[in-house]
Structure 1
Amino acid sequence: MSAEAAPGVVAIVLVTVATLGIGAYGLRLSRTTSDFLVASRTVHPRLNASAIGGEYLSAASFLGVAGLLLVSGADMLWYPIGWTAGFLVLLTLVAAPLRRSGAYTLPDFAEARLGSRRVRGACVLLVVVIGWLYLLPQFQGAGLTLAAAVGAPTWVGPLVVGSIVLVNVTAGGMRSITFVQAFQYWLKLTALLVPAAVLAVVWLGDGRPTGGPIAGDLPDLVSWSRPLAEGDGQGLYVTYSVIVATFLGTMGLPHVVVRFYTNPDGRAARRTTLTVLLLLSAFYLVPPVYGALGRVYAGDLARGGSGADTVVLELPRLMLGGTGGELLTGLVVAGAFAAFLSTSSGLSVAVAGVLTQDVVGRGRLDGVRAFRLSAVVAVGVPCATALVGPDVGVARTVGLAFAVAASTFCPLLLLGIWWRGLTPAGALAGLGVGGLGSFVSAVLALGTDVGGRAAGGWVRLLLEQPAAWSVPLALATMVLVSRATADSVPAHAGRFLVRLHAPEAVVRP
């Protein structure tokens, strides 16, 4: 092992030991299926908020935001703004009613609200698709991090992260990873904030605060006001589409939504969401610093491929060098590795929970054994895809997962919580239109050269950023089909809505 790789290796080992150790502590408290799925609904709001911050701040947040800013400028700040503001929508419209539903998963909520096994089946499929689409960049980002930090082959990262996540998830489920993710939020914040402060001081004393020889070689990347796409009109469309996907997609992410089922009641769910807003706001102040410094010191990373996603890892060595640079690199690697572990763990629990209830657990296996087998499937499929599939931009892939979530579960939750007239046929039609439209667009945008990739102009943009049309289309479809099938509104809909919106003290006997 080279001297340059030593800090990164030590950081990865320490994070792994801490993760497994804290997970083992949670294992002592995990006994029942409810412990594995929702931590028996006993997680305190502050602990839950830290855990949500830990799992929500993924590779896209830790590495991808800085890479986007490096390549495309300050317009990309809409991504972290949207990812944070999405919790404001969640706070005001969804958090407390969803907790009062008593469900374990999104398919549970859909069936309880609409009384339809077909709608439940569609939700199961969507949870798995969104979860795997979100897990893929976590594993690929792990490969990039280990390659940049310690010189390991890119296939090592997915295998290492997948193995650790699988051990943690199968050992203690939600109860165990709650403690792990809470620890990892604070580790990630420290791992970004401390190096950013040091590098900002280096930049101020370096004598080139507005640019350098690298940035000067890239005149097309210097301007902070570059539009998101070719042409002002198309750029405006992409901006709006990113806003729609990020603002509305949060409430449809299975690993975020399942966290609110772990709160004791609806009031605790609201307090959790408010605390999450504060934690995310603090974190997202830091990644743009790396993007800005990357334009001065690491402009060559923006020339193509996924190299821009390594700017956070490369800057300490480029700007500081020596022992100080290596130590800061080790700290950043620790934070990045924690990001992969925490988000992958949350997604794996969410997907495994759905598979346990609706696929694996319907056989002869008991709840805990079914959950563990489901976790192997939940982790194994995206990990294998990351090993054999092409590299894609971390933040961009996560953005497309948000688009699919916004086009499916967002309309279902909003109408299911706030409109009595939603019918099973309307929900199924809306999920199909929004899910197929956004997912097909996501597949095309992630690498196939069919359809939109071969086309140019508006067709390409509509496929690469589908949320601006797929979300309103799904919402309109649900409303129109529900109106046309108004006679099939579930008989219990009125009582269920009372349960969702009445305080617990009112509905409890």
Structure 2
Amino acid sequence: MPTPSVIALVAIALVGVASVVIGSLGVRVARSTSDFLVASRTVGAVPNAAAISGEYLSAATFLGIAGLVLREGATALWYPIAFCAGYLALLLFVAAPLRRSGAYTIPDFAEARLHSPRLRRLCTALVLLIGWLYLLPQLQGAGLSLTTLTSLPSWVGVLGAGVLVVLCVVAGGMRSITFVQAFQYWLKLTALTVPALVALALFLGGDRELDRPAAPEFPEATTIDVRTPVELEVVAPTPLEARGEVDGAPVDGPLVWQPGLHGVEAGTELRFEAGTGVPVPAGTPATDREWLEPRSGPLNLLEIYSILVAGIAGTMGLPHVLVRFYTNPDGRAARRTTVVVLALIGGVFVLVTLMGLLSRAFTPQLLVDGRTDGAVLLVPTAALGDGWAGWLLGGLVSAGAAAAFLSTSSGLVVSLAGVLFTDVLKGKLRDFRLAALLSAIVPVAPALLVTRLDLALTVPLVFAVSAATFCPLLVLGVWWRGLTPAGATAGILVGGVLSAIGVGFALAGSVPEGAVGVLLLRPAAVAVPLAFLTMVVVSRATRRAVPMDAEHTLLQLHAPERLGLSRDRLSREPS
């Protein structure tokens, strides 16, 4: 096995071992149900912020944002803006009241607020759906990292990530994972900062340019194996050698692509000489100058608005993010935590955006075969060359990638296990470990069987489902006394169905052109307003069903803790 692969494997293995060891420390202090579910609500603002940041900055962030910037250019910057703004909305509308609710899970909050077992069951199903949908790209990100960096098949990464996550979670639940995720955040920050600064220095000291009215160029002779059918665009006559099927005809030898679109089937091998213009996926900026300019037009604006709605509202409804605020001692600490999180994740988003920009200069060949999600992993060796310096820097990035998918996967498994434990199994503490095992196993099969999905496509869809379901429930549940069980249920169903349609079309890979296609892939612009509207209209129509203690509950959510109105809703301890 080549030396770079060995270094990458060692780095990934070290992260896995360190995560399990740190997680095992939680066994010494995790003894009660509260320890496993919310770390007994004793986590301070700064360590909790680091843990939330480690959990939130998933493989989609570490790998996907840079890949989006490489492919889409300036337009892709709306994604990190939306994801950061979501925490500002969380700070303003949800963080402190949610902590004061005394709930352990979103279904627990729903029943505490509206006293509806049916609504609680619906929320339980949604938490599981959102969590498993989000786990799917994390596990596939683990497989992608292993395949990109080594010669091992992707299924090894998927199974390995699943095993490590279960080991971390069952050791000590939320208390263990808090330590692990805080460690993984600082590792991810280091793994991005060092290579980004090194590659930036080499870029500024070289002769590469990113403001030319031409396509990016291959830095050296490059052979690309196309694994999935792709339609590519070139802006100038492009010589190459091909073996396979191109433009609907078999080829085996040299040819010249004229400006326009060209179809390449799976299994085709393409070879380009150094200095040749890089073909780009159809519909993406074909020249560097276009890449630096935000796209305009009605469809692009519609997509941007939907991305912003999904990112901002979706963050407020992500179960694995919300459960973190239950671990704070009080509402004030929850607010402080959110402010620190904004600073921590903002720094990482700046770094991954920079890595995406640098990947356009150092690894443009990824545009051809669609492996743009691997840009961050390959920039170090592309910038420093084939030597120990590049290999070691690549090993550091490998460790950061491992931390990315492990931290988010661990948080997701904890939140899912909490819901299964409190709403389905309803047993003793050993059932929490069984719930953690089930939470991790369910998405493994789809991750192995489904063709690898674009991280930049699947994660925003999960945000859209969250935005169209839990965001309206939480915002109206916290701020409007007129919400009724029927209104909440109807709004969740409307938002859930509309966003689920988009998920189905995306997984099927068949999306029509035009505004309909944009809304299917980015359904939040329609699904979120309709979910809010449905909740309000149905609640107005069923106003007699407003819970009698609604005003008291809202007082509990908004009153300072020193008044003694807050309470924990789960008193069950293990035996």
**Which TM-score bucket, shorter chain as reference?**
over 0.9
Measured in 1, the distance between the counterparts of 2:63 and 2:179 equals 23
The aligned amino acid for 2:554 is L
Alignment of 1:180-199 (within 5 A): 180-199=180-199
Measured in 2, the distance between the counterparts of 1:227 and 1:234 equals 13
Alignment of 1:89-488 (within 5 A): 89-210=89-210, 213-214=217-218, 216-218=277-279, 220-222=286-288, 223-225=290-292, 232-305=297-370, 307-321=371-385, 322-361=387-426, 365-366=427-428, 368-449=429-510, 453=511, 455-488=512-545
The reply on whether 1:500 has 2:557 as its aligned counterpart is: yes
Contact 1:73/1:221 (<8 A) preserved = no
Measured in 1, the distance between the counterparts of 2:525 and 2:365 equals 33
The TM-score, its normalising length taken from structure 1, stands at: 0.96
2:252 corresponding residue in structure 1: none
Bigger mean CA deviation after superposition, 102-111 or 77-86:
77-86
Greater Rg, structure 1 or structure 2?
A: 2
Bigger mean CA deviation after superposition, 204-213 or 171-180:
204-213
The sequence identity of aligned pairs, in percent, is: 56
Contact 2:331/2:561 (<8 A) preserved = yes
Deviations 1:118-153 (CA, angstroms, capped at 9, x unpaired): 110110011011101111000001001011112210
The CA RMSD measured in Å over matched residues stands at 1.4
The aligned amino acid for 2:151 is G
Shift in CA distance, 111/435, structure 1 to aligned 2, threshold 3 Å: same
Measured in 2, the distance between the counterparts of 1:264 and 1:2 equals 50
**Cα offset, 1:380, TM superposition:** 0.6
Measured in 2, the distance between the counterparts of 1:354 and 1:385 equals 21
Contact 1:59/1:395 (<8 A) preserved = no
**Cα offset, 1:470, TM superposition:** 0.2
Contact 1:423/1:486 (<8 A) preserved = yes
Measured in 1, the distance between the counterparts of 2:153 and 2:63 equals 19
Deviations 1:157-188 (CA, angstroms, capped at 9, x unpaired): 11011000001111111010000000100000
Contact 2:73/2:293 (<8 A) preserved = yes
Contact 2:278/2:368 (<8 A) preserved = no
**Cα offset, 1:373, TM superposition:** 1.0
3-state DSSP of counterpart to 1:155? helix
The aligned amino acid for 1:67 is G
The reply on whether 1:28 has 2:5 as its aligned counterpart is: no
3-state DSSP of counterpart to 1:73? helix
2:77 corresponding residue in structure 1: 77
2:269 corresponding residue in structure 1: none
**Cα offset, 1:38, TM superposition:** 0.5
Deviations 1:102-132 (CA, angstroms, capped at 9, x unpaired): 0000000000000000110110011011101
The TM-score, its normalising length taken from structure 2, stands at: 0.85
The aligned amino acid for 1:420 is R
Measured in 2, the distance between the counterparts of 1:6 and 1:430 equals 51
**Cα offset, 1:273, TM superposition:** 0.5
3-state DSSP of counterpart to 1:285? helix
Measured in 1, the distance between the counterparts of 2:46 and 2:358 equals 33
Deviations 1:318-356 (CA, angstroms, capped at 9, x unpaired): 121211110110000000000011000000000111011
Measured in 1, the distance between the counterparts of 2:456 and 2:400 equals 17
2:264 corresponding residue in structure 1: none
Measured in 1, the distance between the counterparts of 2:543 and 2:521 equals 35
Measured in 1, the distance between the counterparts of 2:486 and 2:87 equals 29
1:65 corresponding residue in structure 2: 65
**Cα offset, 1:17, TM superposition:** 1.5
Measured in 2, the distance between the counterparts of 1:269 and 1:294 equals 37
Q: Name structure 1 gaps, 5 residues minimum.
A: none
2:230 corresponding residue in structure 1: none
Contact 1:420/1:497 (<8 A) preserved = yes
3-state DSSP of counterpart to 1:22? helix
Q: Name structure 2 gaps, 5 residues minimum.
A: 219-275, 280-284, 567-575
The aligned amino acid for 1:457 is G
**Cα offset, 1:216, TM superposition:** 3.6
Measured in 2, the distance between the counterparts of 1:65 and 1:178 equals 25
The reply on whether 1:56 has 2:47 as its aligned counterpart is: no
2:573 corresponding residue in structure 1: none
Deviations 1:441-464 (CA, angstroms, capped at 9, x unpaired): 112123343xxx2x3212111111
3-state DSSP of counterpart to 2:182? helix
Contact 2:485/2:545 (<8 A) preserved = yes
3-state DSSP of counterpart to 1:248? helix
